[in-house]
Amino acid sequence: MQDHGSRPCRIAVTTELGRTQTLADCRESFARLGEAQGPVLFVGLGPSPWRLPTYLPQAWGRCFFVECPECAAQMPEPWRASIPADFQSVPVSTVMAAAWPGPVFFYLPGLKHFPSFFGPLWAKLTLDDLRAKAPAPAPAPGGPPARERSVIVPGTERSLLVLELRQAFARAGYAVTVMDPADVLDELPRMLRQGAPDLFFSVNLQGLDEFGRAYFLLRQAGTTVAAWCVDNPFHLISRLRAPFWRMMPLFVTDDWFVTTLGEQGATKVFHLPLAANPRFFDPPPPRSETVRDLEDKVVFVGRSEFPGKRGFFSGCQPPAGLAATARGMLAQGGRPDFGWWVDALGLTELWPDSAVRVAGCGAEEAGRIRRTEVLTALSRELDLAVYGDGRWAELLPNRACRGAVDYYGALAAVYAAAGVNLNVTGLLLPHGLTQRHFDVWAAGGVLASDDNPGLGLFPAGLRREMTFSRPDEAVALCRRLLGEPGLRADLGRAWRAEIAARHTYDARVVEVCSRLERRPGRGTDAACGQPA
In the chain, the amino acid numbered 474 is A
Question: Mind listing the pLDDT tens digit for each residue in 454-463?
Answer: 999 999 999 9
The band of 2, judged by pLDDT with boundaries at 50, 70 and 90, is very low
The band of 532, judged by pLDDT with boundaries at 50, 70 and 90, is very low
Residue range 284-503 forms a domain whose CATH class is: alpha beta
Mean pLDDT of 8-13: 79
44 to each of 55, 104, 289, how far by Cα in Å? 14, 10, 65
If you average pLDDT over every residue of the chain, what do you get?
A: 90
DSSP string, 311-353: HHTTT----HHHHHHHHHHHHTT----HHHHHHHTT----SS-
Cα dihedral 500, 506, 508, 514 sign: negative
Residues, the chain: 532
Record the pTM: 0.92
Mean pLDDT of 429-447: 97
Contact present, 245 and 266 (Cβ < 8 Å)? yes
pLDDT exceeds cutoff 90 at 174: yes
Whole-number pLDDT of residue 136: 57
Whole-number pLDDT of residue 519: 42
Question: Mind listing the pLDDT tens digit for each residue in 182-241?
Answer: 999 999 998 998 889 999 999 999 999 999 999 999 999 999 999 999 999 999 999 999
DSSP string, 484-523: -HHHHHHHHHHHHHHHHHH-BHHHHHHHHHHHT---SSTT
Alpha-carbon torsion, ordered 93, 95, 101, 103, to 10 deg: 160
> In what side-by-side order are the strands of the sheet with 87-89?
30-33, 104-107, 40-43, 63-66, 87-89
Whole-number pLDDT of residue 528: 43
Check if 150-275+510-515 and 284-503 are the same fold: yes
CATH 3.40.50 for domain 150-275+510-515: yes
Residues 6+ apart with CB under 8 A from 147: 530
CA-closest candidate to residue 244, choices 226, 271, 263: 226
Question: Mind listing the pLDDT tens digit for each residue in 355-392?
Answer: 899 999 999 999 999 999 999 999 999 999 999 988 88
> In the chain, where are the structural domains located?
12-133, 150-275+510-515, 284-503
pLDDT exceeds cutoff 70 at 529: no
The band of 526, judged by pLDDT with boundaries at 50, 70 and 90, is very low
pLDDT exceeds cutoff 90 at 35: no
